[in-house]
Amino acid sequence: MTGQAVTSAEKAATTLSIGKALNNGLRRAMEDDPKVLIMGEDVGKLGGVFRITDGLQKDFGEDRVIDTPLAESGIVGTAIGLALRGYRPVCEIQFDGFVYPAYDQIVSQVAKFHYRSRGQVRLPIVIRIPFGGGIGAVEHHSESPEAYFSHTAGLKVVSCANPNDAYWMIQQAIASDDPIIFMEPKRRYWEKGQVDTDGEPYPLHSARVLRPGTDATVVAYGPMVRVALDAAAAAVEDGRELEVIDLRSLSPLDLGPVYDSVRRTGRLVVVHEAPSNLGLGSEVAARVTEKCFYSLEAPVLRVTGFNVPYPAARLEEEYLPDLDRVLDAVDRSFGW
Amino acid sequence: MAKGQPPARDGRDDIAPEPEFVQLLNPEGERVEHPEYSVDFSDEEYRDLYRDLVIVRKLDKEATALQRQGELAIWASLLGQEAAQVGSGRALRPQDMAFPTYREHGVLYCRGIDPIMPLSLFRGVDYGGWDPAKYKFNMYTIVIGAQTLHATGYAMGINLDGRIGGGNGSGDDEAVIAYFGDGASSQGDVNEAFVWAGVFHAPVVFFCQNNQYAISEPLERQTRVPLYQRAAGFGFPGVRVDGNDVLATYAVTRAAMDNARHGQGPTLIEAYTYRMGAHTTSDDPTRYRIASEVESWQAKDPILRVHRFLTNQGLADDAFFSSVEEQAAEVATHLRERVLSMPEPDPMSVFDNAYPNGSPLIDEERERFVAYQASFAEGAH
């Protein structure tokens, strides 16, 4: 059944892409628990349009890796029924912009069963969504809908930004009894990094300081973590040490490390691809202002996508926050 | 005629003026033979069905009264649909799973569930939740049609568990019934459930109570074909049954559920009935339908015909009918007493059960709210 399973010799520290790390994480979750199912469009023979489920149907069979009809509400709605029956479905939504047909099932059903049942029903469902732009795609393939789901009580929302987190966070999400929206940074699927398959995973709903710094704090998640790290590297040339924090969990937010950081640096820049208006950055800014008011040397600044529909591919470089826009915001913070 | 209305075809555009359906007991209380469906009840079982119908109607009437007296926020009455619900509800086997809307009080009763359970939802004490696995009856679903997908997924799980077609060899194979209405038949979720059920050959029966109205909108606003015929487009059988005939709904549902559990896939049942009351207690049906229509359906009353049948066949006497009325009145009084004595919810319970693993954000809010509440305590300033 698991002919392609990672052998113990290959375990410990290996170099994997984020996509392959997710694939290995899914495989391990399926090995660990026979109730774990994968369901979605093209997840079987094709292995998903991004090949995240590559080889899983071959090894676990068509009953556990289910190519579904092409209807997102149906995917999530039937996953609820399977979860009521004792299964742990992992749904793949093919692209961010295709999740909206499933919105009712996610927001009115998945999120609310536990509350409605006064704690008697658990729906351990993971909904994976490749999100964000930067791949030159057509309309509806580059969106960042995380705020819709983070706003909804009853859902938890996480995003991985590197292969080690991809490998562990997908397994932690599947093992959790909370319903989890798992946002995957699609433009980073091919980026490689070290994965410690034997180590102790970092807690799922914890933010993490990726680069210590003393002069300003930059908070990001998902595909923008790479941009923040690059900006921090470049800022050294300006004589500034930026502290970079990967939020990892978007709901609930773990802002303890951010408060600690801002109390030291006095300056905060939040970066995400989604538009600024009522985005995650707004919530971070509000909370940091509440908790760190006397530590702030400047207002919290946001570097985000513009408040327009996601633009055509030849305009996305202008739309997407990049290293220069992050450094510009850092400059503005210092100029306050 | 409004713009966009298709012209009448062959001089008539009614979808089903005189619907053909499976009927085993006509409004006059006479048994009707059907080539495919029949029932084989003992005298006692016929009387039990009558008792169910009367009790279910009485409970419904009591709940409507409680709403009128301000004790419930709203009530969705099943008046007129008792046969569809008792017939289908009694056709289920203990191991079967049901997915109701918010109007399936009769099915709930037939599952042996205490009718008080959903009343906390309508009183606003909580969302009326219970453990669906314990009762083999999902919680009421209010978003129209959403539960049909849950039912289909659950049925897919039965397939995965090998619990159909004698796969487990123990004779307790399972099937699922999904309740919905004529309005829901327009929902994407219902049509997606049909697709999934067909494609995955899921052991699920779609039980549509066509009560002719989606709040104010008549059937003609939902469909140009009889609803049961839609099943053909999804690759499984559809059958229309007289939804006011408890024997026919029992027979048709029992056959469809057994087909499903024996591995023969889904069935769509259209129970042709009529919502005698309002959509809910917030509705005023006199704005959209005429009295003569309601009167014509009164003649097809689901309980009256069983009463006639029992009388004509000599299966019950006046003493029986009186005892049923007494029993129903007792059950209704008991329901009323328990509604009135429902405890008010603990204010702090608003924070409970949002997540199985909790949330630090909610913990923080709870803590702050406790302090806020405490600030009003005697002596606090």
Q: Answer whether B155 touches A (CB < 8 Å).
A: yes
Compare CB distances from B192 to A63, A71, A109 and report the shortest one's residue: A71
Q: Residue B56 belongs to what H/E stretch?
A: helix B43-68
| Residue spans of alpha helices (H) in B222-356 | 230-234, 246-261, 291-298, 302-312, 318-340
The residue of chain A with its CA nearest to that of B161 is A85
Burial classification of residue A57, based on how many CB atoms lie within 10 Å of its CB (0-12 exposed, 13-18 middle, 19 or more buried): buried
Q: A276: pLDDT confidence band, cut at 50, 70 and 90?
A: very high
What is the strand order of the sheet A268-275 is part of?
A208-211, A242-246, A216-220, A268-275, A301-305
CB atoms within 10 A of CB B311: 15
Per DSSP, the residues of B316-334 read: --HHHHHHHHHHHHHHHHH
CB B32 within 8 A of CB B242: no
Burial classification of residue B207, based on how many CB atoms lie within 10 Å of its CB (0-12 exposed, 13-18 middle, 19 or more buried): buried
Mean pLDDT of the region A206-223: 98
Per-residue confidence (pLDDT) for residue A33, from 0 to 100: 98
Q: Answer whether B158 touches A (CB < 8 Å).
A: yes
CB A255 within 8 A of CB A262: no
Per-residue confidence (pLDDT) for residue A13, from 0 to 100: 82
Please judge whether B129 and A118 are an interchain contact, meaning their C-beta atoms are less than 8 angstroms apart: yes
Residues in B closer than 8 angstroms to A117, CB to CB, are: 127, 129-132, 139, 353
Q: How near does any CA of chain A get to the CA of B159, in Å? A: 9
Give the closest residue to B35 by CA, choosing from B287, B251, B269, B322: B251
Q: How near does any CA of chain B get to the CA of A73, in Å? A: 7
Q: What angle do helix axes B318-340 and B43-68 make, rounded to 10 degrees?
A: 40
* Helix, strand, coil fractions of chain B, as percent rounded to 5: 45, 10, 45
Q: Could you give the dihedral angle defined by the CA atoms of residues B144, B146, B147 and B149, in that order, rounded to the nearest 10 degrees? A: 140
Please judge whether B355 and A80 are an interchain contact, meaning their C-beta atoms are less than 8 angstroms apart: no
pLDDT over threshold 70, residue A5:
no
Q: Answer whether B131 touches A (CB < 8 Å).
A: yes
pLDDT over threshold 50, residue A140:
yes
Substitution target from B156, B158, B174, B177 for chain A, most A beta carbons within 10 A: B156
Backbone φ and ψ for A326, nearest 5 degrees, come out as -65, -45
Give the closest residue to B80 by CA, choosing from B286, B264, B245: B245
Task: Give the angle A125-A131-A137 at the CA atoms, nearest 5°.
Answer: 140
Residues 44-63 of chain B with CB under 8 A from chain A are none
**Which residue ranges form the domains of chain A, and what is each CATH number?**
14-196 (3.40.50.970), 208-334 (3.40.50.920)
Q: Record the tokens describing residue B183, joined without a space.
A: 């309005």
Per-residue confidence (pLDDT) for residue B18, from 0 to 100: 55
Per-residue confidence (pLDDT) for residue A3, from 0 to 100: 44
Q: How far apart are the C-alpha atoms of B364 and B359, rounded to whole Å?
A: 9
| Look-up of token digits 């049609």 | B145
Q: Record the tokens describing residue A135, joined without a space.
A: 């791949």
Please judge whether A78 and B188 are an interchain contact, meaning their C-beta atoms are less than 8 angstroms apart: no
Query: Which residues of A are designated catalytic?
Result: 141
Give the closest residue to A21 by CA, choosing from A10, A32, A35: A10
**Residue of B230, B275, B305, B336 marked catalytic:** B275
The total number of residues shown for chain B amounts to 381
Backbone region of residue A286 per phi and psi (left: phi > 0; alpha: psi in -120 to 50; beta: other values): alpha
Compare CB distances from A108 to B138, B146, B154 and report the shortest one's residue: B146
Q: Answer whether A108 touches B (CB < 8 Å).
A: yes
CB A226 within 8 A of CB A193: no
Q: What angle do helix axes A72-84 and B146-160 make, rounded to 10 degrees?
A: 60
Residues in A closer than 8 angstroms to B188, CB to CB, are: 71, 73, 101
Q: A311: pLDDT confidence band, cut at 50, 70 and 90?
A: very high
- B68 counts as catalytic: no
Q: Residue A149 belongs to what H/E stretch?
A: helix A146-150
Q: How many contacts (CB atoms, under 8 Å) link A and B? A: 137
- B288 counts as catalytic: yes
User: Which residue type sits at A237?
Assistant: E
User: Which residue type sits at A321?
Assistant: P
Cα B147 to Cα A319, B24, B113, B137, B188: the distances in Å are 40, 30, 19, 12, 12
Residues 6+ apart with CB under 8 A from B140: B100, B101, B102, B104, B118, B121, B128
Q: pLDDT averaged over chain A?
A: 96
Backbone φ and ψ for A50, nearest 5 degrees, come out as -105, 5
Helix (H, G, I), strand (E, B) or coil at A240: coil
Please judge whether B153 and A80 are an interchain contact, meaning their C-beta atoms are less than 8 angstroms apart: yes
Cα B196 to Cα B117, B156, B188, B240: the distances in Å are 31, 9, 12, 22
| Look-up of token digits 């009762």 | B135
Per-residue confidence (pLDDT) for residue A11, from 0 to 100: 55
Q: How far apart are the C-alpha atoms of A21 and A24, rounded to whole Å?
A: 5
Strands B217-218 and B213-214: antiparallel
Q: Answer whether B153 touches A (CB < 8 Å).
A: yes
The string of pLDDT tens digits covering residues A174-203 is: 999 999 999 999 999 999 999 999 989 999
Mean pLDDT of the region A229-244: 97
Substitution target from A105, A112, A113, A116 for chain B, most B beta carbons within 10 A: A116
Per-residue confidence (pLDDT) for residue A1, from 0 to 100: 41
Please judge whether B149 and A117 are an interchain contact, meaning their C-beta atoms are less than 8 angstroms apart: no
Q: How far apart are the C-alpha atoms of B158 and A85, rounded to whole Å?
A: 8
pLDDT, one tens digit for every residue, chain B (381 residues): 567 766 555 544 444 455 799 999 999 999 999 999 999 999 999 999 999 999 999 999 999 999 999 999 999 999 999 999 999 999 999 999 999 999 999 999 999 999 999 999 999 999 988 999 999 999 999 999 999 999 999 999 999 999 988 755 557 899 999 999 999 999 999 999 999 999 999 999 999 999 999 999 999 999 999 999 999 999 999 999 999 999 999 999 999 999 999 999 999 999 999 999 999 999 999 999 999 999 999 999 999 999 999 999 999 999 999 999 999 999 999 999 999 999 999 999 999 999 999 999 999 999 999 999 999 987 655
